[in-house]
Structure 1
Amino acid sequence: MSDADRLAALEQRVAALEETLRAPRATGTPDPEVFWALDGLLSRVGDPGAVLITGHVTLPDGRAARWQESAGTEELVDGDWSQHVAALAALAHPARIRLLQQVLRGASTANDLIRVDGMGTSGQVYHHLRQLVAAGWLHTTGGGRYEVPVARVIPLLTTLLGARR
Structure 2
Amino acid sequence: MEPDTASAIERRLTELEQEVARLSTLAEPAADLAADAADGRAAGSAIDNENADAPDAAPAGSDAPAGSDAPAGSDAPAGSDAPTGSDDPLWFVNELGRRAPGAVMMAGAVDTAAGPVRWQYGLMADGLLSEDWSDLARPLEALGHPARIELVRQVMRGAHTTAELLQLEHLASSGQLYHHLRQLVSAGWLVSPRRGYYEVPAARVVPLLVLTMIASS
Band of TM-score, shorter chain? 0.7 to 0.9
Please point out which of 91, 94, 97 is paired with 2:146: 94
1:37 aligns with 2:92: yes
Bigger mean CA offset, 92-101 vs 73-82: 73-82
Question: What's the secondary structure of 2:203's corresponding residue?
Answer: helix
Equivalent residue for 2:112? 59
Equivalent residue for 2:133? 81
Q: CA deviation at 1:159?
A: 1.0
Higher-helix-fraction structure: 1
Residue identity in the other structure for 1:52 = M
Contact 2:146 2:170 in 1 (8 A): no
Unaligned ranges ≥5, structure 2: 1-67, 73-86
How well do the aligned residues superpose, as a CA RMSD in angstroms? 1.5
Equivalent residue for 2:69? 28
1:144 aligns with 2:196: yes
2: CA distance, partners of 1:131 / 1:36: 39
Contact 1:64 1:150 in 2 (8 A): no
Residue identity in the other structure for 1:119 = L
Please point out which of 130, 134, 155 is paired with 1:103: 155
Deviations 1:10-31 (A, max 9, x none): xxxxxxxxxxxxxxxxx73342
Deviations 1:110-148 (A, max 9, x none): 111111223221100100000000000000021421000
Rg (Cα) greater in structure? 1
Unaligned ranges ≥5, structure 1: 1-26
1: CA distance, partners of 2:170 / 2:191: 23
Residue identity in the other structure for 1:128 = H
Question: What's the secondary structure of 1:116's corresponding residue?
Answer: coil
- Give aligned-pair identity as a percent: 43
What TM-score results when the alignment is normalised by the length of structure 2?
A: 0.59
Q: CA deviation at 1:40?
A: 2.3
Contact 1:52 1:68 in 2 (8 A): yes
